[in-house]
Amino acid sequence: MIDLVLALLSGTVGGLLIALMPRCGSRLRNVVALSSSAAGAVFSWRVAGAVLAGRTIRVAGMNGGLPWSLHPDPLGAVFGLIVSTLWLFAAVYSFGYMAGEERQRTYYTYFLLAFSATLGVAFSGNLISLYLFYELLTLVTYPLVIHERTGEAMKAGAKYIIYSLSGAGAILIAIVITHSLTGNLDFAGGALLADVGLRTGLDWLLALFVAGFGVKAAVMPLHRWLPQAMVAPTPISALLHAVAVVYSGVYGILRVVYSVFGHELMGQLGSSHILPWVAAFTILAGVVIATQQDVLKRRLAYHTISQLSYILLGAFTLHPWGLAGAMLHMISYSTLKMTLFFGAGIIAKQTGKVKVSEMSGVGRQLPGTLTAFGIASLGMIGMMPLNTFWSKYYLMKGSVASGKSPLALVLIGSGIVNAFCFIPTVVTAFTGEMRQPVAEKRLEAGLMLVPTLLLAGIALLIGLWPGLVWPGVDAVVNRFF
C-alpha cells in the first residue's frame, strides 16, 4: 500500500519541488527530475510485482457521496509498468533534448505531474478515480503541448483541451448512467453491468464510453487533435502522444469492455460487431495517411493513430487470444514507437531536418540513431525477431478464433503499408548522398542516443524472449476470462 502511495506521490513531489526552485541550475533540476522518475518507476515496479504475485493493494474511501479507490489489478499494474519504465527513458532523453531550451522549469514540472496523473489512471480502482486522473492528465499535459508558445502550439493546445474535455464529458455521462444502473463503480469484482444483463440502451452507453475514451485513444474520426499536438517537444510527443496520454484512452476502453461490460455482455450487444471494424478502419486509414505525410513527426502521429487501434482491435475481439495480443501490443508498440520518436528527435536536433524527403544520407551522419530507427521500423511491420511479431501473431489468432478472420487480413494489409511507411526512409538515409557529417558523440547527443538504443534493445530482447513479459499478459487474460 505504501508503495502505491509513494509511486503516485513521487512525480507530484518532484514536480512541485522543481516548480518551487525557480532559479536553480539545470543540473540540480535534472537530478530532481531523474530521481523522482526513478523513484516512481521503482515503486510502480514493486506495486506491479505485488499485484502480479496475487496480492491485493487497495486504498479507498468515500468523498461527497462518491466512492474513490486506488486498487491496481493486473491490467492496471501492466499499464503502470509500461508507463513508469518509459518515463525514466523519456526523462534521460529530455536532459539531452531540452539542454539549452527555454522554460525548462515549466517543462519538468508538468512532465513529472503528468507522470503522477498517468500512474493514477493506471492504478484507479473505480470509475470515479479513473475519471479524476483522466481529467487531471488533460490539464497537466496542456502546458507541455504548448511548450513552444507559438501560434501553432497555442492552437494545438486549445484543440487538445476542447477535444479532451468533450470526451471527458461523454465519459462522465456514461459513468453517471452506470452508477444509476448498478450503484457500484468498483473494478474489483466481476464486470459491473454483468448483473444488469442485456437491456435496451446499453449500446448507447457503450458508444458514450468508447467515444469519450476514444478521443484520447485517437480513434478515427476523433483523432484530429493528435497530429496537431506534435508541435510539442519530441520527448513529449514520444511519451505522451505515443504512449501515456493516448494509452490512458486505450486503457479506458479496455476497462470499459472488460471491467464495466464484461466480455460476455459485450458479445450480446449489437455494437460489439461494429467496433472491431471501426478499429480496423482506423488501422488502415491511419497508416495510409501516414505514408502521405512528409513531415516525419506527423507521419509518426498518424502511424500512432493506426497502431493504437491494433490494441483496440484485440480488445474488441472479446477473445482471450485477442486480449493477449492487445496486451502484448500495448507493451511492444510503446518501446518501438518511443524509439522512432526519439530517433526523429535526434535527427531534427542534430541536422535540423524534419521532413522525410530531406533525410537522404542522414544514416551515415547519425549511424546509431538510424540503426535504432531501422530496427523499430522493422518492428512496426511485425518482423520476426522483434516483440511486435508476437503481438501481431496473437491479434491474428484472436481475430480468427473469434470468427472475425477478415480482421486478420486487415492486420496483414496494415503490415505491408507499414513497410512502405518507414523502410524506404531508412534505406535512403543510409544509401543516399552524404551531407555534412554531424557529431553524434557530444554529451547531449549521448543522453539522447543511449535511451534510443536501449529501447530498441529492449524491443529485440522481448522479441527474442517473449516469456519476459508473458506473466503480465497472462495475468490480465486470466483476470478477465
Partner 1 sequence: MTATIISNLPVFVVITPLFVAFILSTFARRIRLVESLVITVLALGVLGAGYLASLVLMRNGIPIIYSMGGWPAPWGIELVAGSLSAFFLLLVAGVSLPVALFTVDNMTHEVGGSVRTTRFYVLYLLLAGTLAGMAVTNDLFNVFVLVEVATLSCCGLVSACKHPRAAEASFNYLILATLGSALILGGIGFLYIITGHLNMGFASMELSRIWQDYPHVVWIAAGFLLVGFGVKSALFPLHVWLPDAHSTAPSPASAILSGLAVKGYMICLIKVLYNLFGSTLIQKFALHRILALLGMVAIIAGSLFALAQDELKRRLAFSTVAQVGYVFLGLGQVNAQGLTGTLFHIASHAVIKSGLFLAAGAIIAATGKTRISEMVGIGRKMPITMAAFTIGSLGMVGIPLFSGFIGKWHLLSGSLTAGSTLAPLVIVIGSVLAAAYLFPIIRTAYFEPAQAIDGQDPGVPQRIALILLAAGVVILGVAPGPFLELAGRAAVELLALK
Binding site for partner 1 (CB under 8 A): 63-66, 128, 131-132, 135-136, 139, 143, 146, 149, 154, 157-158, 161-162, 165-166, 169-170, 172-173, 176-177, 179-180
* Rounded least distance, CB 136 to partner 1, Å: 7
C-alpha cell at 267: 458479445
User: 166 or 271: whose CB is closer to partner 1?
Assistant: 166
Task: Report in angstroms how near the CB of residue 342 gets to partner 1 at its nearest.
Answer: 26
Distance of closest approach, residue 221 Cβ to partner 1, in angstroms: 18
Nearer to partner 1, 65 or 403 (CB): 65
**In the complex, least distance from residue 110 CB atom to partner 1, rounded to whole angstroms:** 11
Instruction: State the minimum distance, in angstroms, from the CB of residue 98 to partner 1.
Output: 17
Taking the complex as a whole, how short is the minimal distance between the CB of residue 352 and partner 1, in angstroms?
A: 22
Task: Give the nearer residue to partner 1 in terms of CB position, either 24 or 66.
Answer: 66
For residue 100, the Cα-to-chain-centroid distance in whole angstroms is 28
Closest separation between CB of residue 215 and partner 1, Å?
A: 12
Q: What is the number of alpha carbons within 13 Å of residue 243 lying toward its C-beta? A: 34
Q: Which one, 38 or 132, has the nearer CB to partner 1?
A: 132
> Of 102 and 264, which CB lies nearer to partner 1 in the complex structure?
102
* Grid coordinates belonging to 290: 501516414
Q: Please report the sign of the dihedral spanned by the C-alpha atoms of residue 316, residue 266, residue 75, residue 476.
A: negative
Comparing CB distances to partner 1, the nearer of 154 and 408 is: 154
Smallest gap from Cβ 441 to partner 1, in A, equals 34
CB closer to partner 1 out of 68 and 95 = 68
The residue (of 160 and 342) whose beta carbon lies closer to partner 1 is: 160
What count of residues does the chain have?
481
Compute the least distance from the CB of residue 10 to partner 1, in Å.
20
Which one, 63 or 436, has the nearer CB to partner 1? 63
